[in-house]
Amino acid sequence: MLERLGPSLFPLEYAVKLAGISEGDKVAEIGCDEDIGPALMLARVCGVVYAIDKYPDRVKEYKRRLNNPIDLFLSPDLITAPILYLIKRRTPPIRKIQPMVAEAEALPFKENSLAGIVFYHSFDWIDGLRGSPAEALKSTHDSLQLGKHAIFIEYSPKDADEREEMCRDIGFSVERHGNIVLGKKILEKPLDVSSREEYLGVPQQIKKNAERARKTIRAGLR
């Protein structure tokens, strides 16, 4: 059933199986916000889940929900799953989940230390929250072990198209399944995309646009 319905109904479960994540692996979920559902799913199949968000207040609320039986029961991981799936599944070991405050652009992990990194509908927010997509991709690439995957679960085919292109540009080998993008690390070091405009992020784009405007004004005054 997972192979047939996975990409649409169980995208994270499907992606994790494709990526070969297993018991004992260390995995990070980036941009967890206050949603404990993805980490609960990951905790059923791997050794440690680092739930990362840049805002301390959201991580604080995340920890509260993680320790609240009612919030555990009402998590999206449970609501969206069919009854048969609920009956068969094991209770996720909460102790495997480690919430942390950190930036996607500077992940607090050693190089080649993680067996998987997950962006569950969260990568677009890096740019939206005035971050740097280029630095986030570089940090993701650096933190992954060679041969392991970055997993991007996207809302739409357009978002997935953008993520697929970004992953190829930085040096990942890419596998696509609907709105799921898997980027496999095949290079020791990522390719440099930091100067490309689509990767600059909001602050850098503003700075670049301002410089263009100044050049235009100077040219008009000559």
Domains of the chain: 2-192 (3.40.50.150)
Judged against a pLDDT cut of 50, whether residue 206 lies above it is answered with no
Mean pLDDT, range 52-79, rounded to an integer: 79
Judged against a pLDDT cut of 50, whether residue 23 lies above it is answered with yes
DSSP 130: T
Strands 26-30 and 114-120: parallel
DSSP SS3 for 68: coil
Strands 180-185 and 172-177: antiparallel
CB 66 within 8 Å of CB 94: yes
Express each pLDDT in 101-118 by its tens digit: 999 999 999 999 999 999
> What's the whole-number average pLDDT of the chain?
82
Q: What is the predicted pLDDT for the residue at 88?
A: 43
Distance, in Å, from the CA atom of 180 to the CA atom of 54, rounded to the nearest integer, reads: 24
Q: State how far Cα 81 lies from the chain centre.
A: 21
Q: Tell which phi-psi region holds residue 112, choosing left (phi > 0), alpha (psi between -120 and 50) or beta.
A: left
- Alpha helices, DSSP H only, in the chain? 2-9, 11-19, 37-43, 56-66, 69-73, 76-79, 83-88, 124-128, 133-143, 157-170, 202-221
Q: In which band, very low, low, confident or very high, does the pLDDT at 209 lie, cut at 50, 70 and 90?
A: low
Number of other residues whose CB lies within 10 A of the CB of residue 61: 17
Q: The whole model's pTM is what?
A: 0.80
Number of other residues whose CB lies within 10 A of the CB of residue 43: 23
State which H helix or E strand residue 144 sits in: strand 144-153
Express each pLDDT in 165-193 by its tens digit: 999 999 999 999 999 999 999 999 999 87
Lowest mean pLDDT among 29-33, 69-73, 150-154, 165-169: 69-73
Q: What is the predicted pLDDT for the residue at 48?
A: 95
Distance, in Å, from the CA atom of 101 to the CA atom of 32, rounded to the nearest integer, reads: 10
